[in-house]
Amino acid sequence: MRQNEMFLLKLGEVVLKGQNRRSFEDRLVANAARRLKSCGSFQVYIRQSTIYAEPTTDHCDMEAAYAAARQVFGVVSVARAVPCEKTVEAIVETARDYLADAFASAGSFKVESKRADKNYPLNSIQISQAVGGELAEAFPQVAVDVHNPDLTVHVEIREKYAYVHAPAVPGAGGLPVGMGGHAVSLLSGGLDSPVSSWMMARRGVELEMVHFVSPPYTSRQAQDKVLELAKLLTAYCGRLRVHIVPFTEIQEEIRKNCPEEYFTLIMRRFMMRLAQAIAKRAGAKALITGESLGQVASQTMMALAVTDDVAEIPVLRPLIGMDKVEIIRISREIGTYDTSILPYEDCCTVFTPRHPATRPRVEDVRAAEARLDVEALMARSLEGEEWIWAKP
């Protein structure tokens, strides 16, 4: 760890909030502090729309903390910085030492300054000119280029100190987890549901996960795959409770008693009912699914209406207008892609109809489903429910 190095976490749309902005900021600081705790001892606080994360010992894992800070929803960018006294001399000395390696590999540079302390005697342009002139003399081999430099030296004049850093890197953006309500996400082992879960967590939603298992038709490896996906999501969401719900009897009863073209639709209706029961028990106010319009037969507009027929709380579908290429891109970015494509099938692939209904009518599916004792099947399924904490 470099001497005095710390992090500046810049807020995103939180700064646009009105009278409730303080509650968003408090939650964001708490989330950031919790995420950095596993990387060492950090003092985390907020001033002037910036979160400061300062290591309090020499034993902090700064690389791990840097990565973790970038995954905190609500943070739009993260910079590694060094504080110094608010004089041109101190700023130049700090930049020369802290950014020496960056200057060694740069052909050109410029200085960008921000004066958050409006009582400081120099304005932003004057700070940049003064510091830039001194650095040009200190590194004569590096040209000054204010338009397209290889290196931009950032100087921020704040309440107590000046801060020197290279360009910040993008953060996760969005809103702090916990400020968007509480929802239950249906998590399968595919590409879509981890992405949809991540997208809703990015809007500040606190998640619980539900996964359906159908042994012996689905394997333990398939369940472990889903738990690994949940663990990967905790890098962004914090710890997640995963409800494991047995689904074998329901699927077998559907196969025995219902028309084949409605197998998947009736199965989805049961999943929605069961997830909704778990949501109500957990105090969650919505369900989240990874459905995308027209992607498969059960995701046509009429099929989705059949599924939603049993929902009593909102069903959020953040992927509804996305294609597979976009979903794959996000899954790669958030680190779930390699796990999602492991060849372990989940219960959605059990008893797949040869010719599924793509234009179903709600009343026809209701009639087919009436052959089942829905309440008894649900009760036995929920009796077998287990849950597991996925942790970072």
Which residue in 63, 129, 56, 144 sits closest to 91, CA to CA? Answer: 129
- The domain boundary, picked from 138, 170, 202, lies at 170
The pLDDT tens digits for 278-314 are 999 999 999 999 999 999 888 999 999 999 999 999 9
Q: Indicate if the pLDDT at residue 84 is higher than 50.
A: yes
Q: Does a structural domain hold residue 177?
A: no
Query: What was the pLDDT predicted at 353?
Result: 84
**226 residue type, one letter:** V
Whether residues 249 and 369 share a domain: the answer is yes
Whether residues 146 and 190 share a domain: the answer is no
CA atoms of 198 and 132, how far apart (whole Å): 42
Q: Indicate if the pLDDT at residue 350 is higher than 80.
A: no
Per-residue b or e along 123-154, where b marks 16 or more CB atoms closer than 10 Å to that residue's CB:
ebeebbebbbebbeeebeebeeeeeebebbbb
Helix H or strand E encompassing 126: helix 124-138
- The domain boundary, picked from 117, 137, 170, lies at 170
Which residue in 183, 188, 170, 148 sits closest to 9, CA to CA? Answer: 170
Assign residue 300 the CATH number of its domain.
Answer: 3.40.50.620
Whether residues 164 and 202 share a domain: the answer is no
Whether residues 135 and 229 share a domain: the answer is no
The pLDDT tens digits for 190-204 are 999 999 999 999 999
Q: Where are the beta strands (DSSP E) in the chain?
A: 6-11, 42-47, 50-55, 75-84, 108-115, 143-144, 151-157, 162-165, 169-170, 182-186, 206-213, 240-246, 286-288, 315-316, 386-390
CA atoms of 268 and 265, how far apart (whole Å): 5
Which residue in 246, 306, 240, 314 sits closest to 276, CA to CA? Answer: 314
Whether residues 214 and 279 share a domain: the answer is yes
Determine the 3-state secondary structure of 43 from DSSP.
strand
pLDDT-derived band at 1, boundaries 50, 70, 90:
very low
Determine the 3-state secondary structure of 49 from DSSP.
coil
Q: Which domain holds residue 104?
A: 6-170
Whether residues 14 and 92 share a domain: the answer is yes
pTM of the shown model: 0.91
Q: Does a structural domain hold residue 357?
A: yes
Query: What was the pLDDT predicted at 327?
Result: 97
Q: Does a structural domain hold residue 347?
A: yes
Whether residues 322 and 384 share a domain: the answer is yes
Whether residues 118 and 240 share a domain: the answer is no
What Å distances lie between residue 64 and 1, 11, 59, 67, CA to CA? Answer: 12, 20, 12, 5
Do the strands 162-165 and 75-84 form a parallel or antiparallel pair, or are they unpaired?
A: antiparallel
Q: Does a structural domain hold residue 59?
A: yes
Q: Based on C-alpha coordinates, what's the Rg of the chain?
A: 26
Assign residue 77 the CATH number of its domain.
Answer: 3.30.2130.30
Which structure tokens are listed for 14?
A: 């939180």
- The domain boundary, picked from 143, 170, 197, lies at 170
Contact criterion met (CB below 8 Å) for 175 and 13: yes
Q: Does a structural domain hold residue 1?
A: no
Whether residues 201 and 92 share a domain: the answer is no
Whether residues 160 and 218 share a domain: the answer is no
Q: Does a structural domain hold residue 175?
A: no
Which structure tokens are listed for 140?
A: 């004569």
Whether residues 236 and 149 share a domain: the answer is no
Q: Does a structural domain hold residue 176?
A: no
The pLDDT tens digits for 134-151 are 999 999 999 999 999 999
Considering the chain, what is the average pLDDT of its residues?
A: 94
Q: Does a structural domain hold residue 255?
A: yes
* Packed helices 220-237 and 192-201: angle between N→C axes, nearest 10 degrees: 20
DSSP state of 273: H
Whether residues 229 and 366 share a domain: the answer is yes
Determine the 3-state secondary structure of 262 from DSSP.
helix
Number of domains in the chain: 2
